[in-house]
Structure 1
C-alpha cells in the first residue's frame, strides 16, 4: 500500500519515504509510529494512546516517546525541510498535520462517465462523489485490537481452528520449550479440555473444518504414521505410513475427503506438497516440478475451510516468496502471486477467498479477484502460526505470538563451567570469538537482524547499507576482515575501517563462504551448475574454479588439503588424489553452519551428545562439550581451544490472540 503524505510518498511494503528522487528507509519504530499516525490521521494522539498503539502497552518513558517522534520528524525534515508533518498539541499530544491519500485507487471512475452524459445535476453529482469516496475509504480489511485468548505458562503454538471456533493448540513450558499438552478450546463457550494425546509423539496436529476430527503425525520407535483422532469417540485410526517423510505439516480439504501434506525427505531436500485421498489412501505429489527442485520448495500450505482452494508458498529466492493457489479438487492452477519478502504463516478467510499472510510482525492479505498484497496491520511480536474462524457470528483470526530471546554463554572445556557473556531481551545468534576478547554476533537488538560486536562488555552495531539477516559469516586468520554472502553475492567487511566491499556478484549464487589458508582467496558452495558443488575464487586472477564433482556445500583448506560437507549427504569428506573419501561418518549436514578446523582438530556437533573434536593426525574423536540445557547449535570454539561460546535460548512466554476482522468489498 502507498500513501501520499503531502509531497511525500510512503510505501508501507518497502518501509520507505520518497520525495522526487530522494528516498528514506524507515527504521522499524519510525515505521510503526507512522502507521499509527496514518490510521488515526484525524486525531490528536496522547502519549497514553501512542503507548497503547505503537508500544502495545509496554512501559515506555517520556524520553523514549520524544525520541521516536523526533526521529520520525527527521526523516520528513530531510526530504521536505521547514514543512511540519507531525504537530505537537500542547498538553494533548501529537497529530499528523498533512493530508493523507491512498495512492493508486481509481476513484470516481463511474462519476466521470455520468458527468459526460450530463445525467445528474451538480447537487446530485456532489452527493454521489461523497458516497463513492466513503465506499473507497472502507475498501480492504478493518481490524480491531488484539484480544488475548490464552494465558498459559510458556507458549501456545501450532494453532488450527474449525469453521465455528473450536481452537486446537499445543502448549510448551517456558523452562524447557518442550511440547507438554494438546488442548482443544471452545472459544464461544470459553471452555478448554486437555486431549489424551501426547504432543511429543502425536504432533503436527490440525483440526478438521467441521471440528470433529484431528489429523496428526504419530512418531515413535523410528516409525511415522499419519493418524486421525475422532474427538467424540476418543478413538485413533492409523491411516498412512510416512516413514520416508520429515518436517510434516498437514491441512484438511474442505470436504474432509482428503488431507494435504507438506514434507521433505531430509533437511537437505526441498519441501513438496502431496494429497492423500482418505477413502483409497492413495498419495499424489501436487507441487514443485523437477525443474525447480533446487529451490527450498513449497514450505507453507493452507486449504480453504469452505471452498475448493489450496494455497502453498514456495521459496523463490532470498526474501522472495511465490504463493500458488490451485483448485483443491481438480488441482488446476487458479493464481500465482510474487511476494517481495519471506512468509512464516498463511491461512484463508472462513467464507471469502481472502488469503492472509504473516511475515514476522506484519500481517497482509490478498483479497479475492485482486492482484495486490495489502498490509493489514503491524504487530508487536512475531507470528508463529495463524488460523481463521468465526466466533459469535464474527470473522476472526487467531494468532500465536511469542518472541524468543537468547544469551551468549562461554563453556570452559577444562573446568566444565559456563558463564554468561551477553544477555538481553533480543535474539542473539551466530557468535564468533576474536583473539582480542571481542565477540561478533548477529542480533535483533534494534528490531532488524544486524551484525554486532561486543567490545569491553558493551555491544556496538556494525553499520551496513542493508539488513545483515541470519547470515553465516567467516573471519580471516588475521581478524581484519569478515566475509559473507547476501542474495548470492559475496561481500567483505573491514573491521578497522568499518567499510564494505563487494567481492563478486550474485550470478555465482554463493553460499557458506570461507577464507582459504592464504587469508585472501575464498571457498564457497554454489548450485550455479544445477548441483551443489564447492568452488575456489582466486581474487587476484578473478577466476572461479570448481573443486568437487560429486557434491559440496561448505569447506575449508587446511595445509593445502580440502575438507568439506555435502548438502544432500551426511559426513565430513576430503579429497585424496582427487578421490572423495568420507572421514567422519556420524557428521550431520547441519554442521555446515558452525564446524571449524583449529590446529589439526576438527570441531563439530552431534545432536544426541554435544560438540566433538576429531584429531586429523590420530583420527581420535573426543566429546569436548556435552549438550547444555536449552542449547542452540550455534557456537564458536576459541582459537586457544580452551573455551566454546554458544547460544543459549531463554524461557519464552507467548499467548494466542484473537483479531476480529471485517472485510469490505
Structure 2
C-alpha cells in the first residue's frame, strides 16, 4: 500500500462529523478549523484509505515513515496527536481505535465529497423544434447567469500556486526581499566575500543586478520605496546601528546616503515604507532583554513615534514582522506568543490602533500583502494565505528549505530560502579539533554526559527537531520525539547520567536514556523556561515569569513541593555546595547566593547574557562563553580562569565540557537563493 499511487492527497473527505480537506491539511467541523502537521496528515490519509479496516504498525511504517526504522513510542505519539486533533473538533466521537498487537482502525465511515458543484454544458437535440431550441437557449442563458451569480456571491477567492523556480543562484546567501509598486524591481541583500552584507537591485525588465552598497559596511534589511527611486537600510558597525536613506541611480555617488535614525546596537529593525514614501515603519527594542515594538519614522524630520504597546503581562519577543499596505492605511503585524503560536494584528498605520487580531497556530516569521484582503505569511518551510474577510488561514505552498522573507510582484511571489547545516565538533585536552557528528541537516545543542562517554544532541535529519544519542560505542540512535509541535529545546543530563531534562512550551520533561520513555515533571501551567537539575536527581531548578519577572524556583520531584529561591531576578541556575549560581535575564553577569543566609553577590562580571542557555557547572568548574573569544573555564575553588577553546570559525555557541573534552556546534557556509512562485486567484465554494 502506498499513498503515492492514489489521489488521496487531493481529495476532500467526510469523516463522521468532520470534513478533511487533504490539499490544505485542514480539519473542519461546526465552523472550527485545525491544520495537521505533515506526519499526522500522512497518518490520517492511510487510515482514511482503509476506513473500518485494521492498519498494522508495519503498514504505517511503510507508508507514513517511508520504511524507516522508528520506535513504537514515535508511532504511539503520532497516533495520540492525531486523536487529540480529531477530539478537539468533535469530542463526542471516537475516531481511532487501538487493537493491541494488531494495529489501528478508523471507526467512522469515510467518504470522498465534492466541494464545487459539477457543471456541464446544456445539450440540444437536432430534432428539437425552434420553440424548444429557443427555450433551451433561454434556459442555458439563465443557468449560466445563475452560475455566475453563484460564483460571485457564494464562492470565495483563494490563491493557488504552481511550482517554484530559482530566480538567483549566486554563491552565498540572498535574502530580505522588497519590491516597488510597479512590480518591476526587486531589492535584496547579498553576502559579500568578507562576510558583510550588500544591498542589490534586480530590474526584472532586463534581469540586471546592480550593487547599491559596497562591502566596507555591513548593510542589511533594506526596503525599496514604492517609486523605486530610493531605499532605506540598516548600516551596522561594531558599535553602531543606523537607519540610512540612499537614492538609486545608475552610479551611486559616495556620500549620497543620509542618516535617518540611530537605533540601539542590539536591534534588527525590519523596515516597511508607507505608500506615499514619507514615513518608514520599524520595530525597535532597548536591548535584547526587551521585546520589539512598532515605531513610525518621518523621513523628512527623523521624528520617531511609538505606535504599539504590549500587554503588561507579555513575556514574548514582541512585534517580530511587519508590512504596510501600499493601497490602504493598514499595517499587518506578527507578534510572538509562543514557539507554536503567533498573533496577527491589523493596525491603523497612522496611530497604531488595533483593528483586528487573531492567534494563529503557527510560528510565522515573515509576511507580505497580496491584495487588500489576502496576506501571505511564512512559517518554517510553509507559505500560508490569510483571508482577512473570513479570518481564515490556508496553507499555500511547501518549500524545500526554511523561508526567511517574501514579497509579491504582480501575480508572482518571490521568496528567499536559506539552506543551513550544522555539525558537532570536539576539542580534546591538547586543543586538537575534529568532527564528531554530521549529517545533511542541523545537528546542534551537544550535551556530554558527566562521565564523557555519551553525547545527547538535537537533529533535524528526519525533517524536524528530535533528541538523539551517540552511545559510548559511537552508535547513533533516536532517543525520543519532542512533545507538542516540533521545535527547539535545551536539554541537561541528570547527575547519574540516566535521564535528560528539558523544558518545552512551559512544561518540564525528563527522558529515560535507556528506554527513551518521556515523562512530564511539571505541567505547562508552571510556565517553565530554563530547567536544570538540582544537587541530585530528586530536585530541579527552573525559571518562570509567572510572578511578573523572571525568578528561580526549586522543585522537589518526590513530593511536588517547591519554593522561590531568588527575589531580585534569576534565569538559569545551578546549586553546588549549598550555593546557588545563577544568571539573570536583564543583566550581564553571573551571581551566587548562599541559600542558608540569603546573601547574594556578583561572582563574574564578564559573563554575557548570551550564556543564558549555554553555561555549565561541573564539580566546581564553571564553563561559559565570551563573545569573539571562546569558551572559558573558571575554577570556583581556586579562582583561576583560563581560555579553554578559542572561538572556532562558524561557532553556533552551543557547547558542553566534560572530562577535559569540549564539544560544540559549527554551521557550514550558508547558502540562500531567491525563488519565484506564480500565483493564481481561483474561486472555491467554502465548506458550510
> What SS class does the counterpart of residue 612 from structure 2 fall into?
helix
Give distance in 2, aligned partners of 1:68 and 1:209: 51
Partner of 2:288 in structure 1? 267
Match of 1:421 in 2: 436
Q: Residues of 2 paired with 1:557 and 1:592: CA distance?
A: 16
Residue 99 of structure 1 aligns with which residue?
Answer: 112
> Does 1:595 find its partner at 2:618?
no
Indicate how the Cα distance of structure 1 residues 307 and 25 shifts in structure 2: closer, same or farther if over 3 A, else same: closer
Shift of 1:580: 2.2
Indicate the residue corresponding to 1:45 in structure 2: none
1:465-518 deviation digits (Å, cap 9, x = unpaired): 545621111110111111111211111111123222211211211111011112
| 2:374 aligned to which of 351, 354, 357 | 354
**Correspondence for 1:625:** 645
Contact 1:449 1:467 in 2 (8 A): no
1:100-115 matches, cutoff 5 A: 101=114
Q: 2:235–2:243: 8 Å Cα contact kept in structure 1? A: yes
What is the TM-score normalised by the length of structure 2?
0.79
- Provide closer, same or farther for how the CA distance between residues 288 and 450 of structure 1 changes in structure 2, counting only shifts above 3 A: farther
Choose 629-638 or 236-245, whichever is displaced more.
236-245
**Which range moved further: 417-426 or 155-164?**
155-164
Find the residue that maps to 1:229 and give its secondary structure.
strand
Q: 1:382 to 1:318 in 2, by over 3 A?
A: closer
Query: How far apart are the structure 1 equivalents of 2:375 and 2:504?
Result: 30
| 1:534 aligns to 2:549 (yes or no) | no
For 2:592 and 2:529, locate their aligned partners in 1 and report how far apart those are by CA, in whole Å. Answer: 19
User: 2:345: which partner in 1?
Assistant: 324
CA contact (8 A) 1:533 1:551 kept: yes
Q: Please give the secondary structure, in 2, of the residue aligned with 1:507.
A: helix
Between stretches 1-10 and 164-173, larger displacement belongs to 1-10
Kindly provide the CA deviation profile for residues 418-437 of structure 1, in whole angstroms up to 9, marking residues without a partner as x. 11111110111111112363
CA RMSD of aligned residues (A): 3.7
Q: How does 1:182-581 map to 2 (within 5 A)?
A: 182-198=199-215, 200-220=217-237, 222-232=239-249, 234=253, 235-243=256-264, 246-349=267-370, 351-390=371-410, 395-412=411-428, 414-434=429-449, 435=451, 437-455=453-471, 456-464=473-481, 466-467=484-485, 469-576=487-594, 577-581=597-601
Say if 1:525 and 1:552, in contact at 8 Å, map to a contact too.
yes
**How far apart are the structure 1 equivalents of 2:393 and 2:639?**
55
State the distance in 2 between where 1:659 and 1:68 align.
32
Find the aligned partners of 2:65 and 2:495 in 1 and give their Cα distance.
45
The answer to whether the 8 Å contact 2:269/2:282 transfers is yes
1:371-411 C-alpha deviation (Å, 9 max, x unpaired): 11111122222101111223xxxx22111012211111111
Q: Distance in 2 between matches of 1:293 and 1:106?
A: 47
Contact in 2 for aligned 1:448/1:467 (Cα 8 Å): no
Superposition deviation, residue 649 in structure 1: 0.5
User: Which of 159, 162, 171 is matched with 2:177 structurally?
Assistant: 159
Instruction: Determine the C-alpha separation between the residues in 2 that align with 1:300 and 1:32.
Output: 31
Tell me: CA distance 1:224–1:377, structure 2 relative to 1, closer, same or farther (3 Å): closer
Partner residue in 2 for 1:88 = none
Q: Work out whether residues 410 and 645 of structure 1, in 8 Å CA contact, stay in contact via their aligned partners in 2.
A: yes
SS of structure 2 residue aligned to 1:99: strand
Query: SS of the counterpart of 2:460?
Result: strand
How do 1:50-199 residues align onto structure 2 when only pairs under 5 Å count?
Answer: 67=66, 78-80=104-106, 99=112, 101=114, 139-163=157-181, 164-172=183-191, 178-198=195-215
Pick which of 542-551 and 277-286 moved more. Answer: 277-286
Shift of 1:251: 1.2
* Cα 1:279–1:181 shift into 2, 3 Å: closer
In the TM superposition, residue 358 of structure 1 has moved relative to its aligned partner by 0.3
Correspondence for 1:60: none
The one-character-per-residue Cα deviations of 1:557-607 (angstroms, maximum 9, x if unpaired) are: 011110000011110011143232111111111112110012211100011
Note closer, same or farther for the CA distance 1:247–1:199 as it changes in structure 2 (3 Å cut). Answer: farther
CA distance change for structure 1 residues 490 and 34 in 2, over 3 Å: closer, same or farther?
closer
Q: Distance in 2 between matches of 1:422 and 1:289?
A: 42
State the match for 1:4 in structure 2: 12
Q: Is the 8 A contact 1:574 1:583 kept in 2?
A: yes
Pairwise CA distance, 1:457: 3.4
- Structure-1-length-normalised TM-score: 0.82
5+ residue gaps, structure 1, are 42-62, 86-97, 109-119
Cα offset for 1:128? Answer: 6.7
Secondary structure class of the residue paired with 2:269:
strand
Give runs of aligned pairs for residues 625-644 of structure 1, distance below 5 A: 625-638=645-658, 640=659, 642-644=660-662
Q: Is the 8 A contact 1:262 1:271 kept in 2?
A: yes
Q: Where in structure 2 are there 5+ consecutive unaligned residues? A: 1-8, 50-61, 83-95, 97-102, 120-136, 684-688
2: CA distance between counterparts of 1:352 and 1:18? 26
Asked if 2 retains the 8 angstrom alpha-carbon contact of 1:309 and 1:328, the reply is yes
Q: CA, structure 1 residues 82+11, in 2 after alignment: closer, same or farther (shift >3 Å)?
A: closer
Check 1:468–1:461 CA distance in 2 against 1; reply closer, same or farther (3 A cut): farther
Q: Cα–Cα, structure 1 residues 153 and 496, in superposed 2: closer, same or farther, change >3 Å?
A: same
Shift of 1:130: 6.0
Q: For residue 586 of structure 1, what is the aligned residue in structure 2?
A: 606
Counterpart secondary structure, 1:563 = strand
Q: Do the aligned partners of 2:263 and 2:284 also contact (CA within 8 Å) in 1?
A: no
Change (3 A) 1:321 1:362: same
Q: 1:496 to 1:400 in 2, by over 3 A?
A: same
Pair 1:100–1:439, CA change in 2 (3 A):
farther
Aligned length, in residue pairs: 599
Structure 1 stretch displaced more, 192-201 or 365-374: 192-201
8 Å CA contact retained: 2:499, 2:510: yes
Task: Give, in angstroms, the shift of residue 13 of structure 1.
Answer: 10
Give me the whole-angstrom Cα distance separating, in 2, the residues matched to 1:221 and 1:272: 24
* Deviation for aligned residue 1:664: 4.0
CA distance in 2, matches of 1:503, 1:2: 41
Distance in 1, Cα, partners of 2:470 & 2:35 = 26
TM-superposed CA distance for 1:157, in Å, is: 1.4
* Cα distance change, pair 238–82 in 1 and its aligned pair in 2 (3 A): closer
Shift of residue 366 of structure 1? 1.3
What secondary structure does 1:590 align onto?
helix
Residues 139-177 of structure 1: CA distance to partner in whole angstroms, max 9, x if unpaired?
30021221211110122112222222311112226x98x
